[in-house]
């Protein structure tokens, strides 16, 4: 009986840790999202990216720090769910402290700073945030997107699509959501 109690107590501790981890992720994501400007940039050759900014924002405010650029034309093409996944992915780079000013001193569109590991971490973080908010559709569409986009080709700046799809699905499964 005591062994059974230990198993139950151990399971409860794991559930509490998982709950507090998810709560921490949500609180951190809320803080980062509330403080980071998002700026439309039709010259951006990608759906979105995080970069460093120092100067006057389009709203007239002085700002120094990370911003998220997004291409509104591409976001319309991919739709709101996939756009939300990539939005959370970019916020993840900020929350995980991947972004540093020194990477963008000469080129605000610099992609060479990011490692494959950081991309996978940002995908996992975005997945955790979205699923913690009950948003499964952005995650499902991200898995489909990466399964069809360069599934086996590794680019200089991003892991292969299948690696990213698998990573997202694995993160979702660890939260009890299977696709």
Q: Which of 139, 145, 135, 129 is nearest to 170 (CA)?
A: 139
pLDDT value of position 9: 53
Residue 101's pLDDT band (cuts 50, 70, 90): confident
Residue 137's pLDDT band (cuts 50, 70, 90): very high
What's the rounded mean pLDDT across residues 63-91?
Answer: 95
Q: Residue 5: is its pLDDT beyond 70?
A: no
pLDDT in tens, 16-59: 555 555 555 555 445 445 589 999 999 998 899 999 998 999 88
**CB contact at 8 A, 48 and 71:** yes
What's the rounded mean pLDDT across residues 99-121?
Answer: 84
pLDDT value of position 160: 87
DSSP string, 10-76: HHHHHHHHHHHHHHHHHHHHHHHHHH--EEE-TT-SSSEEEEEEEEE-TTS-EEEEEEEEE-HHHHH
User: Is the model more confident about 148 or about 70?
Assistant: 70
* Residue listed under structure tokens 């006057």: 56
Mean pLDDT of the chain: 83
Q: Residue 112: is its pLDDT beyond 90?
A: no
């Amino acid at each position: 009986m005591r062994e059974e109690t230990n198993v139950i107590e151990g399971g409860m501790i794991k559930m509490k840790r998982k709950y507090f981890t998810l709560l921490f992720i949500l609180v951190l994501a809320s803080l980062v999202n509330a403080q980071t400007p998002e700026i439309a940039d039709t010259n951006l050759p990608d759906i979105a990216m995080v970069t460093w900014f120092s100067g006057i924002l389009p709203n007239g405010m002085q700002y120094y720090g990370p911003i998220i650029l997004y291409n509104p034309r591409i976001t319309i093409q991919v739709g709101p769910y996939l756009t939300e996944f990539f939005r959370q992915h970019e916020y993840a780079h900020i929350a995980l402290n991947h972004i540093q000013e020194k990477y963008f001193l000469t080129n605000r569109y610099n992609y060479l700073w990011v490692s494959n590991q950081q991309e996978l971490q940002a995908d996992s973080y975005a997945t955790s945030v979205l699923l913690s908010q009950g948003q499964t559709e952005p995650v499902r569409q991200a898995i489909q997107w990466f399964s069809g986009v360069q599934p086996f080709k590794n680019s200089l700046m991003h892991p292969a699509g299948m690696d990213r799809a698998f990573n997202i699905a694995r993160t979702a499964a660890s939260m009890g959501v299977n696709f």
